[in-house]
Structure 1
Amino acid sequence: MTILKAENISKQYRLGLVGTGTISHDLNRWWYRMRGKEDPYLKVGESNDRSTKGSSEYVWALKDINFEVKRGEVLGIIGKNGAGKSTLLKILSKVTAPTTGEIKTRGRIASLLEVGTGFHGEMTGRENIFMNGAILGMTKKEIASKIDEIIEFSGCERYIDTPVKRYSSGMTVRLAFAVAAFLEPEILVIDEVLAVGDAEFQKKAIGKMQDISRGDGRTVIFVSHNMAAVKSLCTRGIVLEHGKVVFEGGADNAVEKYLNSEKETSLIYENTGVNSQSSHIRKVTIVPSNLGGFQEFGKTFEINIELYCNGKIEAPAVSYQILNANNQPLVHELILNSEKEFCDTQGIYILSSTIRNIKLYQGSYKLNVFFADNFSKIKFDGLYEICPFDIINTNKREYYWKPGSAVYKENETNWNIKKVNEFS
C-alpha cells in the first residue's frame, strides 16, 4: 500500500534576494495568474550546481521529482551537499511548499530536520514532549502513556524538567528523536541530524528505526552521508544530483551509484609555484577505490607522485604522510633509491605507492609529500595538506564505523617507479 507519493515536485529559488524579488516580478506573476496562465518565471532557471557560476538569477533546487513510498518501507535519500536532499525533506514535511507538483500522504508525518526541530527553547523537555504530541494530533493521555519510554530512550532524565535552551545540541537531538520515534507517526522523516549524536546514540537510533519499520510497519524516509547506515537500514534508495533523481532502486545499488558518481578534481594536486628548472614534485594524484573521491575501508589505495629531477641525485628519498582531520600524521611511507632506482639521471619520474588493504577509521584525511636527498639532507620540495579525501565504510560491522585518529592495523604497501622521459 502506497503511503506517500511525490508527483512532479519542483522547487525554484531566486538567488541573492529574500522573497519573490521585485514588485515588477510580483505584478507580472499576478497578471499571468489573472489570465489563467503559468508563472512566467517557471520557464527560466538553471540546475542546482553549486560549484559553477550561472547566468540566471533563478535556480531549481529540485526539478521533476517523482517517487512512491510504501507502508513499512525505509527509503534512503542520498547525494552530495547541495543536491536537494534537505529541500525535498522540507517539502515532504510541509515546512515549505513546492513550486510545482504535489505530495500525497496517508497519515501523520513527524520530521527531524534540524537540531531542536519543533522545540520551544523556553519550555522544558517534558513540556516540549506534550506540545509535539499535541501537534501530531495525540491526546494528553496517549502522550502520558509513552512519556517514560521517551525520557528513558533519550537519556536526558536528569534534565527533563529544564528548559531545552540549556541543552547541548547532542541532548536536544536525543530528545527530539525520541519524541519523533515514540509518538507513533505513520511516516518518520529524518535528515542528517543524527550525526550530531554520539556513537552510542546513533546505534540506538538506527536500531529504533529498524524496529519502527519492521516491527510496527511504519515508514521511514532517511537522509544520511553514513553509507553503512543507509545500506543496513534502508530497503530502497534514491540518488539526487543537482536537484534531479539520477537513480532509484535497491539501497546497495544506490550507494554504489552515489560513490561512483563523478571524479573529484581535488584528488589531483598540480604544483605550479616552483622553479621549473630545479628538482621538485610536479604532481600528486590519489586514485581511490571509488570514483566519487571516496576510499573504501579495506580496499586498495594508490598515490602517484610525479617528480622532476634536473640531474643525478646521490640518495633521493620520497615520502608521504596521511593526516587525519586534526592534521595528525597517521601513516608515513618512504621510498629510497637504495630500494628502487630513481633520479639517477635528469628526467621525470612517477612513483606509485599502493596500499593493498588500507585500514584507517572512517573520516576525512589529507596528504603531506616530501622530496629530498637523503645523503646531503637537502629538501627539494614539500607539499602540505593536499588532496583531501574521505575514508568510508559500507561494511555493516559496527566496530568499523567508529571515527578516530588511529590506524586500524599495519598497512601493506608496494612501490613502483616508472621513468617518463630522458633529457639529453
Structure 2
Amino acid sequence: MAEGESAIVRTVEEKSQSCPECGAAIRADGRFVVWCGACEWNVDPEGPERDRERERDRLDRARRALARRHGERLLTEVTAGGSLRARRDPASLLAFVIALAVHGATLGLALGGVWWLVRGWGGAGMLLGLFLLAVAWSIRPRTARPPAAGPVLLREDAPELYALVDEVAGVVGTRGVDQVVVDARVNASVLAHGVRGRRLLTLGLPLWEILTPQQRVALLGHELAHYSNGDTRHGLVVSTAYRSLTTWHYYFVPITRPSAVEMVTNLLYVVPRLLLQGMLTLLDHLTLRAAQRAEYLADRGAARAASTEAAVGLMDRILVTESAEVTLRREANRASLTGPHGARAAEGGAEEIWERLRAYMASIPEDEYERQRRVGARRGHSVDATHPPTHLRRTCLLAGPSAPAAVVTGEDRERRIAAELAGARATVARRIVRDGFRA
C-alpha cells in the first residue's frame, strides 16, 4: 500500500450508533454525513436550499426544472417500452426556424449598416451605419470557443490515447477528435469549433485519475456519442443562434445602482429584455427534450463501449466529484500554508497529489454513494442545467438490457496511455499546487 494511501486509510474511523429516529444501527464514517438508511434520517442535512443558493439566475433555475420534467417523462417512456432513438420532432423544427430568424435579424442589421454607411457617406448617416455594423458583428453566429489553455496533446504526442478515442468513436458511430486538451477540472467535454468544425476533447485530469480503466472508456463513449445522436441544441444553426440571443440579453441587463438617467435607461430595457428572455426560454422548451434524449443516448453509447456496469459506475463517480474537489482544494491549501520554501518543495513533488486523490476516493464507503444517490433523487442532482438528473440517467441504464464491453483496455495499453499523459499530469499537478484549485 502506498504511503499516501495508508495515510488516508488511517484517518478512517468507523463507529456504530443507533438512529435517533428509528433506532436502527448506523455505521458512521466521521469524514461523511452520518445518516440512517432505514428511515433516511439526516440523509440531506443541507436540504434543497443549498441548490437554490447556487442557482440565483432565473434562466438557470428554469432550465433545471425543465430538465427534470423532460428527464422524468423520457425515462417513463423508456421503461414503458418506448424508444430513445433520435428523431426530428415539430419542436426541433420550430427551434430551427427560430434560429434562422435570429440569424436573419443579424444579417438584416449588417445589411442595414452597409446601406446607411453608403447612403450617409460623409454625413451623420455613417455613424448609424457603423453602429449597426458593430452590433451585427457582436451578435454574429459564433461557434463555441475552446476552453482556457491547458496542456495540449496532439496525435503524434499520444498515439495510444488517440487510438483508444478512435476505437470508442467507432463503437458509438462517429469519428475521433482532432485535438485533446488536459485541464484541472473534475469534468470532461467535447467541442466542435471553427469553420471546419474541428473536434476538441477536453479531459479533466482529476476526473480521469479517479476512474477505473473501463469507466474512462465509458466517459469517452458518452462524450463522443454526442456527435452521433442528433442533439438539436448543439447543432451549428441552433447553438450559434442561442449564443446570439444570450449576447443580446446581456446587453439589456439592468444597470446596478443606477443614477437618475440610468433608471430611465433601465425602464427602457424592460420590454426588450423580457422579449429576449422569452425567446431564450422558448428555445429551451423546444430543444431541451432533444437535449435530454441526447444525454440518455450518450449514456447508452457509453454502456455499449465500456459495459453497462462501467457506465453506471461512472454515474456514481459523478455523484461524489465534490469530494474530489474538496480533496484537491485541501492539497493546494496545504502547500500554500507551508510558506515559499515549503510550496516549492510541494511543487517539486506535486504528482503525489494524484496518489492522495485516488486513495481518498477509493476509501469512500458504499454508504456515502447510497446517500448521494438518495440526495440526488430528492434534489434532482445533475451535471449542469441541461443534463437530466443523474439518478434518472442511472435508472435508465439499469432499466435496459445489460451491455458487455466492446472496448477493453489491457494493462499494457493503460501503462502506455499513462506514459503519454505523464507530462500533462505533472503540469496540471504543479498548477494546482501553485495557483490553487478552482472547480
Q: Tell whether the structures are fold-level matches, with TM greater than 0.5.
A: no
Query: Structure 1 length normalisation: TM-score?
Result: 0.20
Structure possessing the higher relative contact order (Cα contacts under 8 Å, 6 or more residues apart): 2
**Larger helix percent:** 2
